[in-house]
Structure 1
Amino acid sequence: MTRPYVLLSVAVSVDGYIDDAGPERLRLSDDADFDRVDQVRAESDAILIGAETLRRDNPRLLVNDPDRRAERIAAAGKPEYPLKITVTASGDLDPELKFWHHGGDKLVYTTEAGATRLGDRLRGLAEVAVLGADIDLGALLDDLGRRGIARLMVEGGTRIHTAFLAADLADELHMAIAPILVGDQAAPRFLNPAAYPGAPRRRMQLADIARIGDIALLIYLPKATTDITQDR
C-alpha cells in the first residue's frame, strides 16, 4: 500500500495572508491562475479541504472545465470529478453547504466524537470515516492509499496546510503570490506557528517559477531539503 502524492495549493498575498477579515472572500488569484488550479484539480484523484475553510468559503470544489472532466473519463478512466474530502475533528458540518450537492463522491474524515456529533446528517451525501480519538493525517493518507488514491491535492485552509507541513507529509507546494497587501492582523494567514521539521535551518527545493498574469507561482518540494546548519 502506497500513500498518495500530496500537493498543497495556496494563493497568498505578498504579506502572507490567504484572505482578509471581511465577510466576502478576497479574490487573490486572477482568471488565468484559477484556470491553472482547475487543471491541477483535474490531474488529481482527490481534493481535500478543511472544515473551517468549508464553513467560511462554502466552495463547490469542482473541476469546472467540461473538456478536462471529459479527458479524465476518456484518457484516464477516472470519475468525472475527483473525490472531494473534508476533515473535521468536531463534526460541525452543515448538510446544506454547496460542497455536498455538486460534483462526485464525498468523504469526511473525523474523530470518534465528531462522528457522534455528525450522526446521520450526511447520510446519502458523503461517506464518513473515523480516524480515532484524534485526527491522524498519516492514518488518513494510509486509508486513501488503500482506496487507490495516488494523487491528493490539498487546498487548505491554514490549519490543514500547517498540519501537513508540520508532519512532513507534503510532497509538493504550489504557492501563488498575488500583488496584494492585506495587513490585517485578524485575517487568516497561510500557516500557523508550528514545530516544522528542521525549521528554520531547513531549505525546501525550489522546483519551478512561473508568471501567470500578475501572479508569481512558486513550486517547492518540501521533502527535497538542504540542511543549512553548517558554519559559514
Structure 2
Amino acid sequence: MHVVVNAAMSADGKLSSRRREQIAISGDADFDRVDRLRADSDAVVVGVGTVLADDPHLTVKDENLRDERRTNGKPANPARVVVDSSARTPSSAEVLDDAATTYVCVSDAAPVEQRAALAEHADLITAGEERVDLLRAFAALQEQGIERVMVEGGGELIFSLFEAGLVDDLSVFVGPKVIGGRDAPTLADGDGFVENFPELELGEVERLDGGVLLTWRVAD
C-alpha cells in the first residue's frame, strides 16, 4: 500500500484556527491538484475530528475526472475512510452518503449501539482495543483491494500515521497566511516525537496560489 498525506497549512504551520474552523488557505490551482490526487487514489482517509469539524464529502469534484475513473473500470469516486476509535461519526455525516463506499475504522472500546448505527451506513473495520490500530486497519483496507491511499487530515491522524511508519509521501501546500494560536491544530499533532524523528527527502518545490507546494518522500 502507498500512503500519501496531503495538507494545506498556513505559513506558521497551522491547519485551521484555534476554533477548529475551516479556513481557505489555498486557491483554485491547489483545489484542482487535490481533486486529481483524490481521483488517482483508491481511498481518501480522514480522522473523525475532521468529520466533526468540517463534515467533508471527500468525493471527486471534476466530472471529467470521475468519467476518467469510470473509463478505467473504477467507481466514480474513491472509497472514503474515517478513523474513529469511539464511533463518534454522526449518521448524518456527508461522508456516509451513497456517493462512494465508506469504511469506518473503530476500536473494540466503541459503544456497541453507536457501532450498530454506523454499520447501517458504512462498512466497519474493528481494529485495536482503545484506539484504532492503524497497521491492522490499513491491512484490512488492503484486503479490500485498496492500494493507493490519500490522507487529508487532521493533525492527530497524520501524527499517528507517521508514528506507525505508514506514510510514504507528504505533500504540503504552504499558504500566504499567518493563523497563530497555541491551540490551533498543526500538520502533525498527537504526542509528538522526542526521538527517532521521521526523516524526509525533498522531492519537488512549486510556486502555487501565492504560496508554495512542497513534496516530500519519507526516507527509508
Decide which of 23, 30, 37 is 1:40's aligned counterpart: 37
Distance 1:42 1:162, change over 3 A: same
Taking only aligned residues, the RMSD between alpha carbons, in angstroms, comes to: 1.7
1:124 aligns with 2:120: yes
The residue type equivalent to 2:81 in the other structure is I
TM-score when scaled to structure 2? 0.93
Instruction: Name the CA distance, whole Å, in 2 between partners of 1:32 and 1:160.
Output: 26
Q: CA deviation at 1:190?
A: 1.2
- The equivalent residue for 2:61 is 64
- The equivalent residue for 2:141 is 144
Aligned pairs for 1:49-60 (under 5 A) are: 49-60=46-57
- The equivalent residue for 2:160 is 163
- The equivalent residue for 1:228 is none
Q: CA deviation at 1:136?
A: 1.1
Overall identity of the aligned pairs, in %: 29
- The equivalent residue for 1:104 is 100
- The equivalent residue for 2:200 is 204
Distance 1:151 1:161, change over 3 A: same
Instruction: Name the CA distance, whole Å, in 1 between partners of 2:92 and 2:46.
Output: 17
Distance 1:71 1:16, change over 3 A: same
Instruction: Name the CA distance, whole Å, in 2 between partners of 1:211 and 1:168.
Output: 29
Moved more, 45-54 or 212-221: 212-221
Decide which of 9, 12, 15 is 1:15's aligned counterpart: 12
TM-score when scaled to structure 1? 0.88
5+ long unaligned stretches in structure 1: 225-232
Decide which of 83, 87, 90 is 2:86's aligned counterpart: 90
Q: Do the aligned partners of 2:21 and 2:53 also contact (CA within 8 Å) in 1?
A: no
Decide which of 178, 186, 211 is 1:215's aligned counterpart: 211
The residue type equivalent to 1:58 in the other structure is D
Decide which of 138, 150, 154 is 1:153's aligned counterpart: 150
